[in-house]
């Protein structure tokens, strides 16, 4: 038995010498490494340890070479080592972290890497052990610093969020103030336009009333009854003009306040258009006699058989240019004369009907729409021109088109066409208050319809009104 043990010891010693001889060329590299390096046999017996390994485990090299892994790490049992060695052989390496306890009973974390090696059919492992206490301490410190920074970042984010909220509130408040100032500015401009328009529009009929009343008073006993009647008619027309202007202002105010209600009823559209054109003829016929060039000359007011139509009442001391409307009706279903011209008229209004022109609409809103557009077509058209009024009923819509060959509307003016008191830059001295189209737009919107314009300066303008059938 003793002989056998001696033979085994000699064999182990021979193997150790062989391995130590083969490892001599690596010692110069491993001895200076900062990490602890161990060479072990498959049974966990140490073959080599560098200076860092000795310093780590607090054993001399001679002591370590007579020891095994189980001696320096008691919880590293043979069963655990056997399992690790199997894994090392399969994968070629093994990495894990653990706690190491020195012989002075000091504990610190380490990372362990075991590499499988085979040389001349002999297996052994190279173990690299690194003390990661400083790294873990640094990691903990960094984690604490990160937590502190995260808290500060969250705090800064909260402060920035509050600051942004305050800035947003200030921005909204500033926008509201700017909007209020802009609205106030627009309101002041609106008021200025309004009072300017009132002053301008009321001046002519008031002058007519004043002059006619003065002449009647002065010549009451000299004039014939017919002459007196003419001046009384002028008074009535001047009052009617003021009344119509007040009606427009009142309707515009009600539309702005959303107090107008849509009340659609079945209506013959051709008959309505005919009545509007007839009314325009009658009103404008009387309008031509409003202002005489010579108040004592009665010849200016001889009754015209042309059903004359003036653009607007002329300024004091000027005679209104006489404009006549002749309108005819042509269409697929209703073809009948509305009015006859006894002599050559200054304007021709052609009323064209397409389809069944009976629809359910609000007459009180539709009348001012058509009256304003037709009046503008006449006002801004030259003599001897033709104006088309086309009425059609398609599917669930009724469409009105008013087409003139007048002065046209520039592209720039079309952008502000429906703003109250806005007038075209090319209207010259043609009178107007700028309320008509704004009122038309409001009434069309109230109907739930649409209005569009196609125009070219010097060629003419076409307004298209599309209203849904109620």
Mean pLDDT of 50-59: 84
Q: Who has greater pLDDT, 346 or 329?
A: 346
121 with 135: CB under 8 angstroms?
A: no
* Cα 143 to Cα 148: distance, rounded to the nearest angstrom: 9
322 with 304: CB under 8 angstroms?
A: yes
- Those residues with Cβ within 8 angstroms of residue 76's Cβ, 6 or more apart along the chain or in another chain: 44, 69, 70
- pLDDT band at residue 335 under the 50/70/90 scheme: very low
Interval 117-140: pLDDT, tens:
888 888 889 988 888 888 888 888
Average pLDDT, the chain: 76
- pLDDT band at residue 324 under the 50/70/90 scheme: very low
Interval 385-407: pLDDT, tens:
888 999 998 888 899 999 999 99
Q: Would you say residue 17 has pLDDT above 70?
A: no
Q: What is the pLDDT of residue 470?
A: 67
Q: What is the pLDDT of residue 134?
A: 82
Q: What is the pLDDT of residue 375?
A: 87
Q: What is the pLDDT of residue 306?
A: 30
Mean pLDDT of 56-76: 83
* Cα 88 to Cα 65: distance, rounded to the nearest angstrom: 22
Portion of the chain with pLDDT greater than 90, in percent: 9
- Those residues with Cβ within 8 angstroms of residue 316's Cβ, 6 or more apart along the chain or in another chain: 204, 207, 211, 291
Q: Would you say residue 58 has pLDDT above 90?
A: no
The 3-state DSSP class for residue 128 equals: strand
Beta strand residue intervals within 379-433, DSSP E: 385-394, 397-404
Interval 187-246: pLDDT, tens:
777 667 666 666 666 777 888 888 888 888 888 888 888 888 888 888 888 888 788 777
Q: Who has greater pLDDT, 2 or 462?
A: 462
- pLDDT band at residue 22 under the 50/70/90 scheme: low
Query: CA dist 27 to 38, 48, 122, 127, 129, Å?
Result: 11, 9, 19, 14, 16
Q: What is the pLDDT of residue 467?
A: 92
371 with 280: CB under 8 angstroms?
A: yes
Nearest CA-CA partner of 215 in 164, 113, 103, 290? 290
* H/E run at residue 115: strand 107-119
Q: What are φ and ψ of residue 52, in 5° steps?
A: -65, -35
* Cα 30 to Cα 39: distance, rounded to the nearest angstrom: 11
Q: What is the pLDDT of residue 453?
A: 92
Q: Alpha-carbon dihedral of residues 164, 168, 169, 171, nearest 10 degrees?
A: 130
Q: What is the pLDDT of residue 26?
A: 55
At CB < 8 A and 24+ separation, what contacts does 449-458 make?
451/418, 453/409, 453/414, 453/417, 455/408, 455/409, 455/414, 456/408, 457/407, 457/408, 457/409, 457/410, 457/426, 458/407, 458/408
109 with 132: CB under 8 angstroms?
A: yes
Paired with 118 in beta bridges are 123
86 with 62: CB under 8 angstroms?
A: no
| DSSP secondary structure of 144-185 | HHHHHHHHHHHHHHHHHHHHHHHHHHHHHHHHHHHHHHHHHH
- pLDDT band at residue 452 under the 50/70/90 scheme: very high
330 with 234: CB under 8 angstroms?
A: no
* Cα 467 to Cα 470: distance, rounded to the nearest angstrom: 9
Q: Would you say residue 289 has pLDDT above 60?
A: no
235 with 212: CB under 8 angstroms?
A: yes
Portion of the chain with pLDDT greater than 70, in percent: 75
Q: What is the pLDDT of residue 247?
A: 76
Q: How many residues does the chain have?
A: 470
Backbone conformation region of residue 458, classed left if phi is above 0, alpha if psi is from -120 to 50, else beta: left
Interval 82-107: pLDDT, tens:
888 988 889 988 888 888 777 777 77
Q: What is the pLDDT of residue 373?
A: 92
* Cα 45 to Cα 43: distance, rounded to the nearest angstrom: 6
Q: What is the pLDDT of residue 466?
A: 93
* Cα 295 to Cα 299: distance, rounded to the nearest angstrom: 10
* Cα 392 to Cα 389: distance, rounded to the nearest angstrom: 10
143 with 155: CB under 8 angstroms?
A: no
Interval 337-356: pLDDT, tens:
333 333 434 678 888 888 77
Strand ordering across the sheet containing 450-456: 325-331, 347-354, 385-394, 397-404, 460-468, 450-456
């Amino acid at each position: 038995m003793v002989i056998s043990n001696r033979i085994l010891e000699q064999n182990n010693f021979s193997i150790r010498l062989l391995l130590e001889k083969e490892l001599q060329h690596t010692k110069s590299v491993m001895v200076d490494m900062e990490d602890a390096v161990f060479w072990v046999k498959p049974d966990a017996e140490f073959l080599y340890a560098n200076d860092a390994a000795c310093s780590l485990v607090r054993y001399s090299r001679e002591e370590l070479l007579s020891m095994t892994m189980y001696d320096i790490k008691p919880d590293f049992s043979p069963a655990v080592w056997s399992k690790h060695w199997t894994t090392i052989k399969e994968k070629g390496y093994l990495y894990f972290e653990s706690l190491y306890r020195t012989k002075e009973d000091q504990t610190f974390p380490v990372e362990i890497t075991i590499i499988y090696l085979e040389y001349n059919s002999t297996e052994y492992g190279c173990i690299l052990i690194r003390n990661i206490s400083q790294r873990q301490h640094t990691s903990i410190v960094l984690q604490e610093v990160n937590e502190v920074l995260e808290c500060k970042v969250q705090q800064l984010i909260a402060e920035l969020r509050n600051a942004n909220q305050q800035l947003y509130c200030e921005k909204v408040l500033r926008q509201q103030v700017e909007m209020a100032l802009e609205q106030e500015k627009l309101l002041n401009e609106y008021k200025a336009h309004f009072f300017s328009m009132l002053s301008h529009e009321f001046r002519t009929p008031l002058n007519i009333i004043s002059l006619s009343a003065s002449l009647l008073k002065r010549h009451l006993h000299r004039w014939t009854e017919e002459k007196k009647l003419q001046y009384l008619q002028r008074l009535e027309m001047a009052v009617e003009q003021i009344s119509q202007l007040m009606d427009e202002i009142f309707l515009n105010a009600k539309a702005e306040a959303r107090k107008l209600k849509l009340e659609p009823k079945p209506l013959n559209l051709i008959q309505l258009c005919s009545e509007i054109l007839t009314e325009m003829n009658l009103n404008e016929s009387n309008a031509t006699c409003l202002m005489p060039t010579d108040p004592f000359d009665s010849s200016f007011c001889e009754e015209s058989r042309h059903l004359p139509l003036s653009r607007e009442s002329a300024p004091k001391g000027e005679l209104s240019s006489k404009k006549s409307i002749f309108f005819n009706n042509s269409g697929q279903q209703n073809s009948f004369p509305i009015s006859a011209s006894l002599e050559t008229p200054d304007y021709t209004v052609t009323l064209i009907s397409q389809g069944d022109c009976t629809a359910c609409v609000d007459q009180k809103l539709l009348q001012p729409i058509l009256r304003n557009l037709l009046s503008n077509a006449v006002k801004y058209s030259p003599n001897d021109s033709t104006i088309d009024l086309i009425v059609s009923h398609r599917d669930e819509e009724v469409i009105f088109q008013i087409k003139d060959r007048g002065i046209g509307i520039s592209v720039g003016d079309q952008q502000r066409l429906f703003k109250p008191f806005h007038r075209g830059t090319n209207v010259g001295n043609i009178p107007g208050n700028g309320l008509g189209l704004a009122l038309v737009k409001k009434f069309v919107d109230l109907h739930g319809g649409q209005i569009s314009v196609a125009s070219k300066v010097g060629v003419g303008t076409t307004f298209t009104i599309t209203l849904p059938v109620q």
